[in-house]
């Protein structure tokens, strides 16, 4: 299957600082990428849909000024958590979807963010 | 409202004991049903996509089937390494738009 990478795999930061997470589709072009958040023992929660060259679409209840998404190329999307607080600590997972049918969607390995 | 429900929430099997996981869905327009495997602390790993009722796909000890209302993931003679959370998701929307709607997952534990 297709490969999606994320960097870093884990990060610890202090409250009030910003953290950037990168997501790359390594072997296919992805006009559309997604950012999810997952809490322990829960399923994935979609945060936003990232489209190359345009503004991201955020799900209801997700603060777009806190979670900045940039999809600068067909293979790279970034999520920046601004002014992080302990409640932002979570497992963040990106995903990339192929541009053509069957529109299969592949996930990155995830980034564990801990805000102290 | 589009909805995906997985059952059971948790399943414990002995090695070699076959069983099935269920994913029932209510969506306005199904464009695909996806099965993923997720190990603790990792992102979901793609397993199968099913597109139409009656379709079946197999991979090693796993077999996925689809009807108009539900999908089953059959696990034949499971091994301890099959222990993981299995996620079901449906794709709605049109063209390259739309998003996956996930079920809550079934956590499978296979004991040796």
Find the residue in A nearest to B5 (Cα).
A43
Confidence of residue B88 (pLDDT cuts 50, 70, 90): very high
Model pLDDT for residues B13-70, shown as the tens digit of each residue: 999 999 999 999 998 878 899 999 999 999 999 999 999 999 999 999 999 999 999 9
- Give the residue from A46, A61, A114, A60 showing the smallest Cα distance to A85: A114
Cα B34 to Cα B50: distance, rounded to the nearest angstrom: 7
| Residues of B with Cβ-Cβ distance to A6 under 8 angstroms | 43
Model pLDDT for residues A4-47, shown as the tens digit of each residue: 999 999 999 999 999 999 999 998 888 899 999 999 889 999 99
Shortest alpha-carbon distance between residue B96 and chain A (Å): 6
Model pLDDT for residues A42-84, shown as the tens digit of each residue: 999 999 999 888 889 999 999 999 999 998 888 899 999 999 9
Answer yes or no: do B87 and A43 touch at CB < 8 A: yes
Best residue in A6, A105, A113 for a mutation probing chain B (most B CBs within 10 Å): A105
- A51 close to A8: Cβ distance less than 8 angstroms: no
Confidence of residue B95 (pLDDT cuts 50, 70, 90): low
């Amino acid at each position: 299957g297709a490969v999606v990478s994320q960097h870093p795999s884990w990060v610890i930061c202090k409250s009030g600082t910003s953290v950037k997470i990168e997501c790359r589709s390594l072997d296919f072009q992805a006009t559309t990428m997604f950012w999810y958040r997952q809490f322990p023992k829960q399923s994935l929660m979609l945060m936003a849909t990232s489209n190359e060259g345009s503004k991201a679409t955020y799900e209801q209840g997700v603060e777009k000024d806190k979670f900045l998404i940039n999809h600068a190329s067909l293979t790279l999307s970034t999520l920046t958590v601004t002014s992080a607080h302990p409640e932002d600590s979570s497992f963040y997972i990106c995903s990339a979807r192929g541009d053509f049918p069957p529109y299969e969607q592949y996930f990155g390995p995830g980034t564990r963010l801990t805000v102290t | 409202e589009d909805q995906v429900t997985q059952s059971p929430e948790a399943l414990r099997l002995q090695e070699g004991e076959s069983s099935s996981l269920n994913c029932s869905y209510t969506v306005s327009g199904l464009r695909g049903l996806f099965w993923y495997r997720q190990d603790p602390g990792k992102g979901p790993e793609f397993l199968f996509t099913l597109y139409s009722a009656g379709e079946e796909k197999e991979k090693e000890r796993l077999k996925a089937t689809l009807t108009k209302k539900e999908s089953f993931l059959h696990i034949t003679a499971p091994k301890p390494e099959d222990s993981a959370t299995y996620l079901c998701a449906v794709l709605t929307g049109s063209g390259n738009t739309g998003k996956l709607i996930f079920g809550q997952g079934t956590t499978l534990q296979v004991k040796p």
